[in-house]
Structure 1
Amino acid sequence: MGYEIERFISEISDNLICKLCHKVYDNPKSLTSCDHIFCFSCIEKIVINENCCPLDHTLIESSCIEEAPPFILDYLSVMKIKCDFSEHGCRESVPLNRLLLHRLNCEFHPERKIKCTNCEVDVEKYRLSDHNCINLLKNKIDFLSDQINDLKNYYNNELSSLRCRLEN
Structure 2
Amino acid sequence: MGYDVTRFQGDVDEDLICPICSGVLEEPVQAPHCEHAFCNACITQWFSQQQTCPVDRSVVTVAHLRPVPRIMRNMLSKLQIACDNAVFGCSAIVRLDNLMSHLSDCEHNPKRPVTCEQGCGLEMPKDELPNHNCIKHLRSVVQQQQTRIAELEKT
- TM-score (normalizing by structure 1): 0.80
Q: Secondary structure at the match of 1:91?
A: coil
Task: Give the structure 1 partner of residue 150 of structure 2.
Answer: 149
Relative distance call for 1:5 and 1:148 in structure 2 (3 A) is same
Task: Give the structure 2 partner of residue 79 of structure 1.
Answer: 79
CA offset digits 1:80-115 (Å, max 9, x no partner): 111112212222121111212222222222222211
| 1:82 partner amino acid | A
RMSD, aligned α-carbons:
1.9
Task: Give the structure 1 partner of residue 97 of structure 2.
Answer: 97
| 2:133 partner amino acid | N
Q: Secondary structure at the match of 1:54?
A: coil
Runs of 4+ in structure 1 displaced over 4 angstroms?
none
Q: Which structure 1 segments of 5+ residues have no match?
A: 156-168
Q: For structure 1, which segment, 81-90 or 16-25, has the greater mean C-alpha deviation from structure 2 after superposition?
A: 81-90
Percentage identity across paired residues of the two chains? 31
Q: Which structure 2 segments of 5+ residues have no match?
A: none
Count of equivalent residues: 154
TM-superposed deviation, 1:64: 2.7
Task: Give the structure 1 partner of residue 116 of structure 2.
Answer: 116
Paired residues of 1:33 and 1:64 also in contact (CA < 8 A): no
1:34 to 2:38 alignment: no
Relative distance call for 1:149 and 1:81 in structure 2 (3 A) is same
TM-superposed deviation, 1:77: 0.5
| 1:35 partner amino acid | E
Q: Secondary structure at the match of 1:71?
A: helix
Paired residues of 1:83 and 1:99 also in contact (CA < 8 A): yes
CA distance in 2, matches of 1:73, 1:79: 10
Q: Secondary structure at the match of 1:51?
A: coil
CA distance in 1, matches of 2:46, 2:131: 46
CA distance in 2, matches of 1:46, 1:142: 50
TM-superposed deviation, 1:8: 0.9
CA distance in 2, matches of 1:43, 1:138: 50
